[in-house]
Amino acid sequence: MDSKTDLIEKAATALLKYVSKQQEKKNITKDKPVSIPLKHPLYDASTEICLITKDPHKELVASKNLNVYER
């Protein structure tokens, strides 16, 4: 019986080591995003955006000579 128990313990230990190494590999790729070049960009010069700012930042936006629409 002891040889079976020892074999099971060795197998479980090896499996736990393998799983932890696999998780480390996954974490490495998760933390390092990869840039994918696109044939057609999502945004170009004619793209419009909505920028909502607090009052103190209005001067900064005005200094950049942006087309501003205020309500």
For residues 2-26, give the mean pLDDT: 87
Q: Is the pTM of this model over 0.85?
A: no
pLDDT confidence of residue 15: 93
> Across 6-15, 36-45, 60-69, which has the greatest mean pLDDT?
6-15
pLDDT band at 13 (very low <50, low <70, confident <90, very high): very high
Q: CB under 8 Å to 51, separation ≥6 — which residues?
A: 61, 66
| Placement of tokens 């209005």 in the chain | 58
For residues 19-28, give the mean pLDDT: 76
pLDDT confidence of residue 17: 93
∠ Cα 21 25 28 (to 5°): 135
CA 3 to each of CA 6, 12, 46: distance values in angstroms, whole numbers, following the listed order: 5, 14, 73
